Amino acid sequence: MNYTINLTWDNETAVWVATSDDVQGLVLESGSLDALIERLRFAVPELLALNGTTQQDFSMHLRSERLERVSFA
């Protein structure tokens, strides 16, 4: 099974936010993308189990998005 996880940078709070339509209840934040991915490795299996999923092996498709505004001086 493959679960899509959306990783979006929030400029206002300066954190990465993880959400997913495939994993019910998933909302995680971290200031570091690497730290967020590490947290996902533990949180996603726990949430899947809580949601009644019995699938043992799965993949996470991580999609990241970050918008940076740049202005000329």
Percent of the chain with pLDDT over 90: 88
Question: What is the model's pLDDT at position 56?
Answer: 83
Total number of residues shown for the chain: 73
> Is the whole-model pTM more than 0.95?
no
- Contact status, residue 40 vs residue 28, Cβ threshold 8 Å: yes
The residues spanned by each domain of the chain are 2-65
Question: What is the sign, positive or negative, of the torsion defined by CA atoms of 22, 25, 31, 34?
Answer: negative
Question: What is the model's pLDDT at position 21?
Answer: 97
For the domain made up of 2-65, give the CATH fold.
Answer: TTHA1013/TTHA0281-like (3.30.2390)
The model's confidence at residue 7, banded by pLDDT at 50, 70 and 90, is very high
pLDDT in tens, 15-46: 999 999 999 999 999 999 999 999 999 999 99
